[in-house]
């Protein structure tokens, strides 16, 4: 897999291997404010437990992505609710531990290349049981937040004091991308986050009623799955009460 970076040579994507350990350790210490233990570097460069990619230019690593595919039951407590309860504990999710690019090569599509490679792998017919990709990010890392939102990740949870960096606690966000038919946990607020509802409040009651009817139809399956038919009928009643 290659992309062009102006006049320089092609970038290649490959899996990490044990001989990359020292280079990976050096890059991660330059990029990330978190100090990883040595065993972590050993595992991401040699263990099949991790999906670890390197973007290389002239045989030098200029970008990294490390992810772990695991069952929903193995998610940490703060991430345990990322999927609808209709998915059993054996459902797979992918956690992105790290993604980074050498500073001089940022904004050239390297991060996108790595992330797209992961998503391509996770959406093959053999891996349809993987229903979500998620990650954590510092609330102050606006560049990363914007990157993930451009890639259609949605903010899932605010994580106060989640990170411990140089003796100081920092807030984080979790972000999720649902794939292969995955769905978020259903809440009363969930259908009202859709663009249709945002339009509804800016329209007159008659047009608003029509938009609300579209919303109800789009949410019919989720409502039927998570709530009783009486609640659904109540929402239909509210729609006609709009006039």
Helix ranges restricted to H, the chain? 21-31, 38-46, 110-122, 142-150, 195-200, 205-218, 220-226, 229-241
Question: Which stretches of the chain drop beneath a pLDDT of 50?
Answer: 2-8, 192-205, 209, 212-214, 216, 223-224, 226-230, 232-233, 236
Beta bridge partners of 135: 96, 175
What pLDDT score does 186 carry? Answer: 79
3-state secondary structure of 77: helix
Length of the chain: 243
Q: Determine the pLDDT at residue 109.
A: 92
What are 59-114's pLDDT values in tens digits? 999 999 999 999 999 999 999 899 999 999 999 999 999 999 999 999 999 999 99
pLDDT of residue 121: 97
Instruction: Confirm if 94 and 122 have CB atoms less than 8 A apart.
Output: yes
pLDDT of res. 34? 85
Distance (Å, whole) CA 31 – CA 73: 31
Q: What is the pLDDT of residue 10?
A: 84
Q: Which residues are part of the catalytic machinery?
A: 95, 136
Q: In what order do the strands lie in the sheet with 60-71?
A: 12-15, 50-57, 60-71, 92-101, 130-138, 168-178, 154-165
pLDDT at 241 (0 to 100):
55
Q: Of 91, 183, 96, 83, give the one whose Cα is nearest residue 130.
A: 91
The predicted pLDDT at position 204 comes to: 45
pTM, entire model = 0.75
* Cβ–Cβ < 8 Å for 172, 139: yes
pLDDT for residue 9: 52
Q: Are strands 168-178 and 130-138 parallel, antiparallel or unpaired?
A: antiparallel
């Amino acid at each position: 897999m290659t992309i062009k970076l102006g006049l320089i040579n092609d970038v290649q994507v490959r899996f990490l291997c044990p001989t990359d350990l020292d280079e990976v350790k050096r890059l991660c210490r330059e990029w990330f404010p978190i100090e990883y233990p040595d065993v972590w570097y050993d595992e991401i460069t040699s263990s099949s437990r991790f999906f670890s990619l390197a973007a290389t230019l002239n045989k030098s690593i200029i970008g990294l992505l490390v992810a772990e595919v695991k069952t929903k039951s193995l998610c940490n407590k703060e991430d345990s609710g990322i999927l609808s309860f209709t998915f059993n504990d054996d459902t797979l999710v992918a956690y992105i531990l790290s993604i980074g690019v050498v500073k001089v090569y940022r904004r050239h599509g390297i991060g996108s290349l790595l992330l797209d490679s992961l998503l391509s792998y996770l959406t093959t017919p053999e891996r349809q049981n993987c229903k979500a990709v998620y990650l954590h990010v510092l609330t102050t890392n606006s560049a990363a937040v914007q990157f993930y939102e451009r890639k259609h990740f949605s903010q899932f949870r605010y994580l106060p004091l989640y990170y411990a960096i140089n003796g100081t606690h920092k807030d984080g966000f979790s972000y999720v991308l649902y794939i292969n038919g995955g769905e978020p946990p259903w809440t009363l607020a969930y259908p009202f986050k859709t663009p249709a509802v945002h339009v509804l409040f800016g329209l007159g009651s008659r047009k608003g009623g029509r938009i609300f009817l579209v919303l109800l139809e789009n949410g019919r399956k989720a409502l039927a799955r998570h709530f009783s038919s009486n609640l659904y009928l109540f929402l239909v009643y509210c729609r006609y009460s709009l006039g």
